Chain A
Amino acid sequence: MTIVLGIESTSHTLGIGIVEKNNSSIRILANVYSKYIPAKGGIHPREASLHHAREAPQVLKSALDKAGIHIGDVDGIAVALGPGLGPCLRIGATLARFLASYYSKPLIPVNHAVAHIEIGKFVAGFADPLIIYVSGGNTLIAIQRKKRYRVLGETLDIPLGNLLDTFAREIGLAPPYVVNGKHQVDICSEWGSNFIDLPYTVKGIDLSFSGLLTASLKHAEKARSKKELGDICLSLRETAFDMIVEVAERALLLTGKKEVLLVGGVASNTVLRQKLEAMATLHGAKYKGTPPDVSGDNGAMIAYTGLLLLLHGVTIEPEKAFIKQRWRLDEVDLPWLPD
């Protein structure tokens, strides 16, 4: 039996998860997190890190309680060392280095992006999917090839989550960005019914959202009614999602994969899920998303990926475990991926 504790603190969420491998079955024992919600504006890195530092002891304690284990029972401490916001990453890294040194446990370095994908594959039961990873920090299409996740296409400027959040904030709807599991842009879309022609920028399998954001904000300035604002939200969302689905479709046909997997924070969006599912069905591919409790940033995904790494002997000395604010998905060698 192997138990790994994982710490996530790359951005707005401080999360601690615990997974257990018993013979060949792997279970998530605990997945506890505390999310920093800004009073105004977007994520303030320092405020977020202070939140993480304040919450960490409690989150750690409740994760251990929930799993019904003591820290001594853990076989490894996994931590997301990047990519992410420096001040936030440092909180998780400090906690992980402390736990690993004090309790003499192996420390496991986890790439946050890899963790999003691995937990998605695990929950979906997929072996070799086309991966669509959409969050506040990433928007990319990837496949596994030669021991790594290879990026086929990605955003050339801002990520999808960033587009939706910035728009919602600029027009005065956010924060909070998500209400009852629904994004403000989705709520606002329900007020509209007309389609406005907005910049649609697809370059091969790459995308660009910054023109779409600027144009939408320009339109929003002139909006005089709730309905007009709704039209803009609807058009923005449809344009952005159609762009993602189009590049995903291109990639699906390019690679001939039979599985389509949606991961990352924006994976919880119902409209995007429906569009992708419709696209996958069209080409006879199986579609699966990631359930909300493991699609947003969380500790369980770090613990699970840490477990895979530990089983393949990937660990790091605490004194060498520096955070990496920039650490691309396609830089990480993963021993369990096929050649």
Chain B
Amino acid sequence: MASRLTLISEGAEAKIYLLEALGTKLIVKHRISKPYRHPLFDKLFRERRTRTEAKILAKLYLSGLPVPAPLFVDPFNSIIIMEYVFGIKLSDTIEFLTTKTICTIASRLGEYVGKMHSLKIYHGDLTLANILYNERTDGIYIIDFGLAGHSTDIEEYAIDIHLIERSINALAPEITELFMKNFWNGYAKTYSEKYREIKDRVYEIKLRGRYIEERLKRRLEHERYS
């Protein structure tokens, strides 16, 4: 049977191909060498990220989360072959969705991320560009686990949420509040254990940015009352 390889997207660190073979569709993710990286570092870097991504995808897929199933891994050539999932990047489509749909997506995403964190896994690059939305099935997929990792530190979980909030704020500032409200509701459903602690940490991370006035005020108050 004929097979075909088509380049469908070029990410920041990898080329994504659609492989049509044996009557089925697969995704080939190839981490490419970068001209700006030190050659010694480049190899180490790509191998490391390929390994992590494959391991984490497997764990999440087996736990029932909506991520593409990894089928074949070659860390030395930095290649992963995985299941084909269909959807449009949320970053491309968020401006055209209805409020109701956005609420549903946010709440469901919250549930998934909560579940992921309860498995002690963080995504590391949870932006709207790494969430696919399928209009027909009304489902979402989380993709690109290149920066993901295992951790029991709530800091990593909080950063995931901080990243999603910032990503929305940059692309559609007017819906950030609504989105996050629904997100947190969903999150609490699947990861109630440390919900409060993580929510506080997300706020703290926000204050950590440079030149934030609120931080200064908070410190002054703290000094005054303690």
Interface set of A (CB-CB < 8 Å, partner B): 82-83, 137-138, 140, 143, 145-146, 150-157, 159, 195, 197, 200, 202-206, 238-239, 241-242, 245-246, 249-250, 252-254, 274-276, 278-279, 282-283, 324-328
Contact = CB atoms under 8 A, between A and B. Distances in A.
A195 B38 contact: yes
A38 to B, nearest CB: 22
B36 A279 contact: yes
Nearest to B91: A254
Contact of A203 (B40, B44, B147, B210): B147
A6 B35 CA distance: 40
B78 to A, nearest CB: 15
B129 A254 contact: yes
Interface string B191-210: 00000000000000100111
A250 B13 CA distance: 8
Nearest to A155: B210
Given A203-B147, A206-B162, 13 more contacts: A83-B210, A137-B210, A157-B208, A195-B38, A204-B147, A205-B166, A238-B37, A249-B12, A278-B35, A278-B36, A279-B34, A279-B36, A283-B10
Contact of B212 (A150, A159, A200, A328): A328
Given A83-B211, A154-B210, A279-B34, A253 B11 contact: yes
A195 B41 contact: yes
A254 B167 CA distance: 10
20 contacts: A83-B211, A137-B210, A137-B211, A159-B210, A200-B45, A203-B124, A203-B147, A203-B159, A203-B163, A205-B166, A238-B37, A238-B38, A242-B37, A242-B41, A245-B34, A249-B12, A254-B91, A278-B36, A279-B36, A326-B215
B210 A138 contact: yes
A315 to B, nearest CB: 22
B127 A205 contact: yes
A151 B166 CA distance: 8
Interface string B176-204: 00000000000000000000000000000
Interface in B44-79: 44-45
Given A150-B169, A205-B127, A327 B211 contact: yes
B138 interface: no
A139 B205 CA distance: 16
A326 B41 CA distance: 37
Contact of B35 (A157, A202, A239, A282): A282
Interface residues of B, number: 38
Contacts of A245: 34, 36
Interface in B150-172: 159, 162-163, 166-167, 169-171
A313 to B, nearest CB: 24
Given A238-B38, A253-B12, A279-B34, A326 B170 contact: no
Nearest to B122: A203
B147 A202 contact: yes
Nearest to A282: B35
Given A150-B170, A278-B36, A246 B13 contact: yes
B100 to A, nearest CB: 24
Contacts of A155: 210
A156 B41 contact: no
B12 A204 contact: no
Contact of A146 (B36, B41, B173): B173
A264 to B, nearest CB: 12
A248 B145 CA distance: 18
A152 B36 contact: no
Interface in B110-126: 124-126
B210 A328 contact: yes
A250 B125 contact: yes
A137 B209 CA distance: 11
Contacts of B166: 151-153, 204-205
A327 B209 contact: no
